[in-house]
């Protein structure tokens, strides 16, 4: 995938591809032109960006172009495309079987009406946007996806899988609700079954050597992401919160090896920037953590608002942030079963609010607030996401005890609440003092 | 109260561009020397500008719904209505620990703290006219009361008729059927006030308050609502002399002081 490509070219070349895939090209243009415009007006409009961000901009530009074409080629060579909707799906196993994991979560409001033909209106916009992309015939991954993998996390997703199961190949992993011994056993079993399902799909047998390789690769990828986020702890961070999101979005879409190599190169540039004292915010800028629901491409308005108000997002405690890159899989296990157990262990450490109790998440938020020296935390809740919304009560109380101011915002993907959101964010920043 | 001729070299202006009314406050030597309240119209920005043209002032700060629009037309500071209301409240009532401001489009509750910031915390109602000044206006008109007499009339209500809906549209049809059923207007009015108090109470009750509870904004002139809120909260709710301009006073103070835009 080339670095940044001129947009006109990129769209022209994609149109043909989308038509070949049988997609609704006009609707696709309508939806993704808006995403694109937003990307230009927020991300690309930023000043003093690291030069090597260009590659990650390219990943986003090529998400419905070059990346799709590349996957079509790999499928022709016998590899499978696995669509995912949650970071609990063990990527190591997918990769070790030569399959390609791609996160299909939607971040655009414009596909939502197509989901509301089927789904009730009062469920979370992430679910509706994702389903809407599939039902409106605008997602280029849908026609080439060999298996979609759902999970039993929140109610909205669980019941949506039931409805979608009719439309094509969908496999649902069962996630426990607690993290006790019995739950660990169940989860280990589930990961084993997932492996069996993928073996059947790919016609390949999971090889311990290849699994060890995939574990090393994913650890390397997560380490590189963690290093990127370490730079955000600097007094004068060398990259913005929006750019961190661009990279995270890449992590969910791009080829793991290439992504990791490019990220390591970006990290070197960031290290150099830190050494030379080049940062993206003023020393006085308020340092903000965003915590809660995922920030998927198309719905980065909160980050854009915070940063356009002169503050900087220095940490994301979300699935498009720390929950994705924290914790590694133990590498020195021998034997397939022990390896899979190590993988299962790592994934069960993810602190999604779907778990109960979930005190570890609060500990992590407090730790991250310290490590990134944040002035305040914005708890970001997607409308109708009950688990994050309710858990926000305990999170706010813990933050208060720790002396960290916090603000909860509930929002959906529409732009209509930008005024109210801005008022809250601006007031929160003013309230953090001078 | 107008003081067009004040041209003090230390005059600071607070402009509160609300969704229903626009407020201008003049501050000189740390005292309010004049204020004006008028309905927000399609060309409020022009109205404000025309008024300012004749005045010699040091600096203005805009707050409220129209703050960015004002800022695009006039060299002024911008401050959120949360911060402005907090600063204004401290000024008019230093003993206050919490302020409730029911505006035309939203209601907010602000906890004043003793930290370095203007306030410690705040809560706002979400995206809906329910529980706002707008709701009161619509219902007053429906019942045939002027907005000033609405609160007084509600105080006379014999019983509190519970309204099942808080949505402006649904409450409207509920009120119409109550009227058709021959129910007493004052009691319906009382019920409507009760439902606003129900909506605002949980926002306020979330905080541990140190000090008095103050009510700001034009709705504070409604005696029934003030009474219901103080009963719900179990403590007196204080209403300052000119509650509508508390936020504009805060903006004027922000123009004067170092609150950054
Ligand atoms: S928030 Fe929970 S359910 Fe949603 S992607 Fe993250 S881990 Fe999965
Ligand atoms: S944001 Fe919340 S409701 Fe939406 S999919 Fe994730 S966990 Fe479910």
pLDDT tens column, A357-414: 999 999 999 999 999 999 999 999 999 999 999 999 999 999 999 999 999 999 999 9
Query: pLDDT at position B1, please?
Result: 44
Dihedral angle computed from the Cα positions of residues B184, B189, B191 and B192, in that order, rounded to the nearest 10 degrees: 140
Q: What are phi and psi of B226, to 5 degrees?
A: -60, -45
Average pLDDT of span B65-90: 94
| pLDDT tier, B129 (very low <50, low <70, confident <90, very high otherwise) | low
Question: Is the CB of A392 inside a 6 Å radius of any atom of ligand 2?
Answer: no
Question: Is the CB of A175 inside a 6 Å radius of any atom of ligand 2?
Answer: no
Does residue B42 register a pLDDT over 90?
Answer: no
Does residue A1 register a pLDDT over 60?
Answer: no
Average pLDDT of span B194-201: 90
Exposure of A228 in the CB half-sphere (CA atoms within 13 A): 34
Q: What is the mean pLDDT of chain B?
A: 89
pTM, to two decimals: 0.92
Would you call A284 an interface residue with chain B, using a CB distance cutoff of 8 Å? no
* A427/B83 CB distance under 8 A: yes
* A308-A311-A314 Cα angle (round to 5): 115
Average pLDDT of span A2-29: 75
Comparison of pLDDT for A26 and B165, the residue scoring more: A26
Question: Is the CB of A157 inside a 6 Å radius of any atom of ligand 2?
Answer: yes
Average pLDDT of span B116-130: 80
| Contact predicate A426/B117, CB 8 Å | no
* HEC letters along chain B: CCCCCCCCCCEEEEEEECCCEEEEEEEECCEEEEEEEEECCCCHHHHHHHHHHCCCCCEEEEECCCHHHHHHHCCCEECCHHHHHHHHHHHHCCCEEEEEEECCCCEEEEECCCCCCCCCEEEECCCCCCCCHHHHHHHHHHHCCCHHHHHHHHHCCCCCCCCCCCCHHHHHHHHHHHHHCCCCHHHHHHHHHHHHHHHHHHHHHCCCCCCEEEEECHHHHCHHHHHHHHHHHCCCEECCCCHHHHHHHHHHHHHHCCCCC
Query: pLDDT at position B141, please?
Result: 93
Does residue B198 register a pLDDT over 50?
Answer: yes
| pLDDT tier, B128 (very low <50, low <70, confident <90, very high otherwise) | low
Q: What is the mean pLDDT of chain A?
A: 94
Query: pLDDT at position B170, please?
Result: 83
Question: Is the CB of A131 inside a 6 Å radius of any atom of ligand 2?
Answer: no
Exposure of A62 in the CB half-sphere (CA atoms within 13 A): 21
Who among B80, B120, B126 is closest to A430 (CB)? B80
Does residue B232 register a pLDDT over 50?
Answer: yes
Closest chain B CA to residue A417:
B127
Q: Phi-psi category of A317—alpha, beta or left, where left has phi over 0 and alpha has psi -120 to 50?
A: beta
| pLDDT tier, A3 (very low <50, low <70, confident <90, very high otherwise) | very low
Q: Kindly report, residue by residue over A209-244, the tens digit of the pLDDT.
A: 999 999 999 999 999 999 999 999 999 999 999 999
Who among A410, A419, A433 is closest to B115 (CB)? A433
Residues of B engaging A, defined by a Cβ cutoff of 8 Å: 65, 79-83, 106, 115-122, 124, 126-127, 258-260
Does residue A350 register a pLDDT over 80?
Answer: yes
Average pLDDT of span A12-21: 86
Does the ipTM surpass 0.90? Answer: no
* B118/A420 CB distance under 8 A: no
| Contact predicate B117/B191, CB 8 Å | no
Residues of A in contact with B259 (CB under 8 A): 430, 434
* Neighbouring residues of A192: CB distance < 8 A, sequence distance ≥ 6: A340
* A358-A362-A365 Cα angle (round to 5): 135
Does residue A60 register a pLDDT over 50?
Answer: yes
| pLDDT tier, B2 (very low <50, low <70, confident <90, very high otherwise) | very low
Determine what percent of chain A is predicted with pLDDT higher than 70: 96
Does residue B12 register a pLDDT over 70?
Answer: yes
Who among B106, B117, B260 is closest to A431 (CB)? B117
Q: Kindly report, residue by residue over A87-115, the tens digit of the pLDDT.
A: 999 999 999 999 999 999 999 999 999 99
Query: pLDDT at position A434, please?
Result: 58
Who among A420, A427, A433 is closest to B122 (CB)? A427
Report the gap between the CA of B29 and the closest CA in chain A (Å): 23
DSSP A233: T
Average pLDDT of span B68-85: 94
Residue ranges of domains in chain B, CATH in brackets: 11-84+246-256 (3.30.420.40), 95-239 (3.30.420.40)
* Measured distance CA(A251)–CA(A259) in Å, rounded: 7
Q: Three-state DSSP class for A164?
A: helix
Structure tokens at A307: 């940063």
Count of C-beta atoms within a 10 Å radius of residue A142 = 20
With b for 16 or more beta-carbon neighbours within 10 A and e for fewer, the A167-195 pattern comes to eeebbbbebbeebeeeebebbbebbbebb
Does residue A8 register a pLDDT over 80?
Answer: no
Q: Give the closest residue to A315 by CA, choosing from A295, A289, A296, A291.
A: A289
Taking only residues 378 to 407 of chain A, the set having a beta carbon closer than 8 angstroms to any beta carbon of chain B reads: 405
Handedness of CA B40, B41, B42, B48 (dihedral sign): negative
Residue with CA closest to ligand 2 atom 7: A154
With b for 16 or more beta-carbon neighbours within 10 A and e for fewer, the A269-288 pattern comes to bbeebbeeeebbbeeebbbb
Closest chain A CA to residue B118:
A431
| pLDDT tier, B36 (very low <50, low <70, confident <90, very high otherwise) | very high
């Amino acid at each position: 995938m080339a670095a940044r490509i001129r947009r006109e070219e990129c769209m022209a070349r994609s149109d043909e591809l989308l038509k070949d895939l049988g997609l609704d090209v006009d609707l696709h243009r309508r939806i993704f032109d808006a995403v694109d415009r937003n990307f230009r007006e927020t991300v690309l409009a930023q000043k003093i960006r690291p030069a090597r961000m260009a590659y990650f901009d390219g990943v986003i530009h090529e998400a419905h172009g070059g990346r799709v074409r590349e996957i079509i080629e790999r499928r022709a060579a016998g590899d499978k495309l696995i669509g995912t909707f949650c970071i609990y799906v063990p990527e190591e196993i997918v990769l070790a079987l030569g399959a390609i994991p791609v996160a299909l979560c939607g971040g655009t409001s414009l596909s939502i009406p197509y989901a509301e033909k089927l789904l009730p209106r009062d469920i979370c916009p992430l679910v509706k946007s994702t389903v809407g992309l599939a039902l409106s015939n605008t997602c280029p991954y849908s026609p080439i996806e060999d298996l979609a993998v759902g999970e039993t996390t929140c109610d909205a997703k669980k019941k949506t899988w039931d409805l979608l199961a009719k439309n094509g190949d969908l496999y649902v992993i069962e996630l426990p609700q607690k993290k006790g011994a019995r739950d660990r056993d169940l989860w280990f079993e589930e990961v084993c079954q997932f492996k069996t399902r993928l073996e059947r799909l790919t016609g390949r047998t999971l090889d311990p050597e290849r699994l060890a390789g995939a574990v090393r690769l994913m650890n390397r990828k997560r380490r590189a992401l963690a290093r990127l986020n370490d730079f955000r702890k600097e007094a004068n961070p060398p990259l913005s919160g929006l750019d961190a999101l661009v990279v995270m979005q890449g992590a969910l879409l791009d080829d793991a090896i290439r992504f990791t190599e490019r990220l390591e190169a970006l990290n070197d540039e960031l290290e150099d920037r830190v050494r030379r004292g080049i940062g993206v915010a003023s020393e006085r800028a308020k340092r903000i953590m965003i915590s809660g629901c995922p920030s998927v491409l198309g719905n980065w308005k909160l980050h854009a608002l915070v940063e356009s108000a002169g503050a900087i997002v220095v940490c994301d405690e979300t699935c498009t942030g720390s929950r994705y890159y924290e914790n590694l899989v133990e590498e020195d296990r021998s034997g397939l079963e022990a390896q899979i157990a190590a993988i299962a262990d790592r994934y069960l450490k993810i602190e999604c609010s779907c778990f109960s109790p979930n005190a570890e998440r609060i500990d992590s938020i407090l730790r991250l607030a310290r490590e990134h020296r944040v002035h305040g935390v914005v708890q970001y809740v997607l409308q109708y996401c009950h688990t994050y919304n309710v858990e926000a009560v305990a999170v706010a109380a813990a933050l208060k005890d720790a002396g960290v101011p916090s603000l909860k915002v509930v929002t959906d993907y529409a732009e209509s609440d930008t005024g109210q959101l801005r008022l809250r964010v601006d007031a929160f920043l003013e309230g953090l003092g001078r | 109260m107008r003081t067009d001729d004040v041209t003090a070299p230390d005059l600071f202006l607070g402009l509160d561009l609300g969704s229903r009314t626009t407020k201008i406050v003049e501050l000189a030597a740390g005292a309010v020397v004049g204020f004006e309240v008028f309905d927000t119209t399609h060309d409020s920005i022009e109205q404000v500008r025309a008024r300012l043209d004749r005045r010699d002032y040091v600096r203005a700060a805009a707050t409220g719904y129209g703050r960015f629009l004002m800022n695009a037309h006039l060299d002024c500071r911008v401050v959120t209505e949360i911060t402005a209301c907090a600063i204004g409240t401290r000024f008019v009532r230093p003993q206050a620990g919490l302020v409730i401001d029911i505006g035309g489009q939203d209601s907010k509750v602000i906890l004043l703290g003793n930290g370095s910031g203007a306030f410690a915390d705040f809560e706002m109602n979400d995206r809906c006219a329910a529980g706002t000044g707008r709701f009161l206006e619509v219902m007053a008109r429906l019942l045939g009361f002027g907005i000033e007499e609405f609160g007084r009339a509600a105080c006379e209500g014999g019983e509190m008729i519970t309204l099942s809906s808080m949505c402006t549209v649904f409450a409207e049809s509920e009120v119409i059927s109550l009227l058709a059923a021959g129910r007493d207007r004052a009691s319906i009015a009382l019920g409507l006030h009760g439902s606003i108090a129900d909506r605002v109470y949980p926002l306020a009750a979330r905080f541990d308050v140190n000090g008095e509870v103050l009510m700001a904004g034009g709705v504070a002139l409604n005696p029934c609502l003030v009474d219901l809120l103080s009963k719900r909260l179990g403590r007196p709710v204080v209403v300052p002399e000119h509650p509508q301009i508390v936020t504009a006073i805060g903006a004027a103070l922000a123009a004067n002081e170092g609150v950054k835009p």
